[in-house]
Amino acid sequence: MSQHFYYENRIKLLKSEYKGQKIKSQLYSWIRLLLFVCFAGSLILFFTVMHHWVLVVSSILFLISFIVLVKKYNLLEEDILFIFSKIQINKDEIQFINHDYYHRKLGDEYEIINPYLSNDFNLFGKGSLFQYLNRCNTNIGEKMLAQKLCEQDKNTMLIERKQSAINELSKNNDYIQDFQSHGRFTIDNKNDLSAFQFWLKESGESFKKIRIFAFILGIINVGWLILSSFGVLSWLSFLMPILLSQLVISIYKNKITKYQSGIKYIAGIFSRYLNLFKMIENQDFESEHLQKLQKQLRSKESKASASLDSLFKIVEAFETKNNVLISLLLNSIFLFDIHVCYLLLEWRKKHKDEVEGWFSIIGEMEVLISFASYAFNNVETVTFPTLLTDEFKIKAVETGHPLLSQSVRVNNDFYIKGVPSVQIITGANMAGKSTFLRTIVVNLILAMNGAPVIAKEFSFTPCDILSSIKVQDSLVNNESYFYAELLRLKDIIEHVKNNQKTLVILDEILRGTNTKDKQTGSLGILEKLISLNAMVVIATHDLSIGEMEKSHSGIVNNSCFEVELLDDQLIFDYKLKPGISRKLNASFLMHKMEIID
């Protein structure tokens, strides 16, 4: 079954379910109205026609039935929204399959994490890898995805555990879609996490001593009330402890109001994530990485969701302040608000070091789901790479760029091994050199995140990736393009000195100087990188650089993209071939476009 057909079939089934639930909702609305009319009618008959107990009982039963149905109706409406959300998710995935995702979040605010890698390999922006992969609904998840695209894991065991997790999730698309649907209701904004962190770190005075006093005073109040009821003490005397209780509450009024207003906003943030926590806690995962995430939501005493439920109960207790009569009664006898504030501060004290980790796990799960969705959509063309630990090596068979549709994508083989090693790629303009460089790096980025890659076979050694492709000048720093490029190349050389497993990607370097300087400088940089035992892939128009293969046999290898001229038309096959390119196309194109005669 093709993935496109899978999503279309899901949409049909969900639409049918949605229609059925909407009919049920309308039925509930009519029955609810009927029950309320019956309730009101019974009371009207009782007060106007006959004062019979049957009417009182009937009105109570109608009211109870009405309340029960209102709750069922609200749950049904939530279910309808949930189904509608899943319908939209399936429509979105069809767009992803059709490579129609340019309207989605650009993520360009994350370029600063790794500007060179982001800029050189289109990690963010329109038509970027971030746009193609991102299935995150929370800002925490989006930021974590961006971080992982820019700064990859190099721990072999961790990558393999993530591979298992992503593979497991990609085979459970129902779970993925349920998680995403709940995630759509988070209504996340960038201030939520900072407000939440501020609340956790905020200092609050201890209510322990005043709570003990409130507990003792509450016992006295109850005892006094009982004695007054039996006539042992006068009702007038009962005013003394009541007034004392109210005095204590008034002293702490501002602090109680402060904690109440703060917790309402924070609890609102928590409540939007509750279903996501429960989905992680209650799922039977098989992979070690997912089980580890699950365990982090379970403390020795309770699950994260249960701890949050206890917080919501504290918030509900605070809501009694909205009922003046009940609030007055509870505070006059039990000093209720003191006890609630104590429970709130104790909850924060107990969980303040855990909660940030809970949210981080949701972000991690969203990242894994993003990669799993990509894996599911491309199941026929992807493979999970084999990780190597002995020798620095990258081997790809029939690998292609994931951002290119399968209908236009041309796959190639690639092999580079050992240090030092240099792969020189020559070719005419528009022949596919730059796309191929991006193909290798983007697939490596996916691979080091545990995701599958577009290839029949792919094995690699986790490594750092440094590049010099789209270097830009800087008016602010008064840097020319050439000087900015030299600074970048210097950074690469310094990094390679201290990090042996670094893949260096260069594309037409030293464009800011004359041909002779460019050639001399390019050869010098490659010689330097060879002396530092680097692994380098360089794309260039300068065919003379390919001559290095003769003087560095076994270290330097040449590959090229060729172009054919057929019936006065340039033909590109975008296939990587061994050797140095011998065919140029710049002058032909300039003639063709009538730029030159």
Q: What is the pLDDT along the chain (597 residues), one digit of tens a residue?
A: 588 999 999 999 999 999 999 999 999 999 999 999 998 888 888 778 777 778 778 888 988 998 899 999 999 999 999 999 999 999 999 999 999 999 999 999 999 999 999 999 999 999 999 999 999 998 889 999 999 999 989 999 999 999 999 999 999 999 999 999 998 887 666 666 677 777 777 776 778 888 999 899 989 989 988 888 788 888 888 888 889 989 988 998 888 888 777 777 677 777 778 889 999 999 999 999 999 999 998 766 678 888 888 888 888 888 777 778 888 888 888 899 899 889 888 888 888 888 888 889 999 999 999 999 999 999 999 999 999 988 899 999 999 999 999 889 999 999 999 989 999 998 877 888 899 999 999 999 999 999 999 999 999 999 999 999 876 544 334 456 778 888 889 999 999 999 889 999 999 888 767 778 888 888 999 999 999 999 999 998 888 888 899 989 889 999 998 877 666 666 778 999 999 887 665 554 445 545 555
Strand partners, 397: 457
Pairing of strands 457-460, 382-383: unpaired
Residue type, 210: I
pLDDT of residue 187: 64
By the 8 A CB rule, do 502 and 534 touch?
Answer: yes
Helices (H) and strands (E) in the chain — how many of each? 21, 12
Is residue 560 within 8 A of residue 426, CB to CB? The reply is yes
- Number of CB atoms found within 10 A of residue 497's CB: 12
Question: Which CATH code, of 3.90.420.10, 3.40.50.10540, 3.90.550.10, 3.40.50.300, is assigned to 382-592?
Answer: 3.40.50.300
**Angle formed at CA 447 by CA 444 and CA 453, multiple of 5 degrees:** 90
Task: Determine the Cα–Cα distance for residues 446 and 449; give it in Å rounded to an integer.
Answer: 5
| 513 Cβ contact list (under 8 Å, min separation 6) | 482, 521
